Amino acid sequence: MPKAGSASFNFVAKFISLRSINLDKNGMKIKKNDTVLIIAGKDKGKKGKVLKSLPKENKIIVEGLNLAKKHQKPRRSGEKGQVVEVSRPLSVSNVKLICPKCGQGTRVGYKTTETDKFRICKKCQSEI
Residues that bind Zn ion (CB under 5 A): 99, 101-102, 121, 123-124
Nearest CA-CA partner of 19 in 31, 11, 8: 11
Q: Which is nearer to Zn ion, 89 or 109 (CB)?
A: 109
What's the angle, vertex CA 104, arms to CA 87 and CA 24, rounded to 5?
55
Strand 108-112 relative to strand 117-121, pairing: antiparallel
Q: Provide, rounded to whole angstroms, the least separation between the CB of residue 101 and Zn ion.
A: 4
Selection from 95, 108, 122, 116 nearest residue 40 by Cα: 95
Q: Provide, rounded to whole angstroms, the least separation between the CB of residue 62 and Zn ion.
A: 20
Q: Please identify, using beta-carbon distances, which residue of 35 and 53 lies nearer to Zn ion.
A: 35
Q: Are 54 and 60 in contact (CB under 8 A)?
A: yes
> Of 39 and 102, which CB lies nearer to Zn ion in the complex structure?
102
Nearest to 91 by CA among 25, 18, 41: 41
Residue nearer to Zn ion on the CB measure, 67 or 102:
102
